[in-house]
């Protein structure tokens, strides 16, 4: 459903993505893990065109573009197939919780105000924030803000949701509520690509793990195989710090 082939990206002279391939099937929950600076976030941002890749091909739901020659119009069209959840939430600070969710529906998807409102309320109910509709983001906790971020992403009915370290900016108590919302979304069958440092969570929620290092994919595979019998030395070294055997032995 989503295929990336030979994607390359450099910032100045520093290569960040070195021509990697990735394929995601419908309903997949893919966790992208790896050390900082390995290019995980850049990969995600290239899929959403917040970063322009230098080379490669991206296909989402049958629509394919050459990342080198992609036009503005194609970018806008491709972007509507994806939705992004940001590490630092990036809610619109000048809009209320409700407006944050309806904004895309009204402006981009041209829905009527009342229809957008209905969709938004039902999404916000799913993330447990139906009592905060008129609050501004600055008055919410980090966990609440990120849940609004997730509701905003889901409301657009994207083919794939991209989550960029959705819990990295949260304290341990707030991580729990956010992860449980993401878990809930994952179970509903929406395709997701999650960049995360929460190994336990990745093991639990993802059916496919992609391990990146130094701008390339070192190893990828079904979640269980990946954690229980990693093949590459780099993967084994990375996973040595996490004791995930427990999770799978239960």
Partner 1 sequence: MSTDFFKPEIIPELVWKIIQAFPLTLILTVCSLILGSLIALGIAVLALRSPKVTRGMANGYIHFIRGIPTLILIYLLYLGFPQFMKGLGVDMSGVDKRVYLVVIFALAISANFAELMRSSYLSVDKGQGEAALAIGMTARQGFKRIVLPQALAVALPSLGNYVIMLFKLTSLGFVVGVVDLMGKTRILINITYGSRRLETYLALAIIYWALCFVLERINKLLITRYTRGRRELADGKAAAK
76 binds partner 1 (CB under 8 A): yes
Element (H, E) at 105: helix 97-107
- Using the minimum distance from each CB to partner 1, give the nearer residue, 36 or 94: 94
- Judged by CB under 8 A, the residue of 95, 142, 234, 247 near partner 1 is 95
Nearest-angstrom CA–CA distance, 249 and 227: 12
- Judged by CB under 8 A, the residue of 108, 157, 222, 236 near partner 1 is 108
DSSP code at position 95: S
User: Near partner 1 by CB under 8 A, which window of 26-34, 74-82, 195-203, 226-234?
Assistant: 74-82
Q: Do residues 159 and 24 make contact, with C-beta atoms less than 8 angstroms apart? A: no
Smallest distance from partner 1 to CB 190, Å: 16
User: Near partner 1 by CB under 8 A, which window of 88-96, 180-188, 213-221, 228-236?
Assistant: 88-96
* Cβ neighbours, 10 Å, residue 178: 25
Smallest distance from partner 1 to CB 115, Å: 17
Length of the chain in terms of residues written: 250
Residues in a beta bridge with 212? 217
| First CA to last CA distance, the chain | 32
User: Near partner 1 by CB under 8 A, which window of 25-33, 76-84, 177-185, 242-250?
Assistant: 76-84
Residues 40-59 that bind partner 1 (CB under 8 A): 48-50
Nearest-angstrom CA–CA distance, 8 and 173: 38
- Judged by CB under 8 A, the residue of 70, 92, 122, 128 near partner 1 is 92
* Cβ neighbours, 10 Å, residue 66: 13
107 binds partner 1 (CB under 8 A): yes
91 binds partner 1 (CB under 8 A): yes
Element (H, E) at 222: strand 216-222
- Using the minimum distance from each CB to partner 1, give the nearer residue, 61 or 107: 107
Residues in a beta bridge with 83? 161
User: Near partner 1 by CB under 8 A, which window of 15-23, 82-90, 111-119, 121-129?
Assistant: 82-90
138 binds partner 1 (CB under 8 A): yes
| Neighbour-count burial of 17, counting CB atoms closer than 10 A to its CB (0-12 exposed, 13-18 middle, 19+ buried) | buried
- Binding region for partner 1 (CB under 8 A): 48-50, 76, 79-80, 82-84, 86, 88, 90-96, 103-104, 107-109, 134-139, 152, 156
């Amino acid at each position: 459903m989503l295929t990336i082939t030979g994607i390359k990206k450099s910032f100045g002279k520093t290569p960040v993505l070195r021509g990697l391939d990735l394929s995601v099937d419908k309903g997949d929950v893919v966790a992208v893990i790896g050390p900082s600076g390995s290019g995980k976030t850049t990969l995600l941002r290239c899929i959403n065109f917040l970063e322009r890749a230098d080379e490669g091909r991206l296909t989402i739901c049958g629509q394919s573009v050459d990342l080198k020659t992609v036009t503005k119009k194609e970018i806008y069209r491709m972007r509507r197939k994806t939705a992004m959840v940001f590490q630092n939430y990036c809610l619109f600070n000048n809009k209320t919780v409700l407006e944050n969710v309806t904004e895309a529906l009204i402006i981009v998807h041209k829905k009527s105000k009342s229809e957008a409102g209905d969709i938004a309320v039902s999404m916000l109910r799913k993330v447990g924030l139906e009592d905060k509709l008129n609050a501004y983001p600055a008055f919410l906790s980090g966990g609440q803000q990120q849940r609004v971020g997730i509701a905003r992403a889901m409301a657009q009915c994207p083919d794939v949701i991209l989550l960029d370290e959705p819990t990295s900016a949260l304290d341990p108590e707030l991580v729990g509520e956010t992860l449980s919302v993401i878990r809930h979304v994952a179970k509903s069958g929406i395709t997701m690509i999650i960049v995360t440092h929460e190994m336990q969570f990745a093991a639990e929620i993802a059916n496919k793990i992609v391990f990146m290092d130094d701008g390339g994919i070192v190893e990828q595979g079904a979640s269980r195989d990946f954690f229980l019998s990693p093949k590459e030395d780099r993967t084994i070294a990375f996973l040595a710090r996490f004791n995930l055997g427990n999770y799978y032995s239960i």
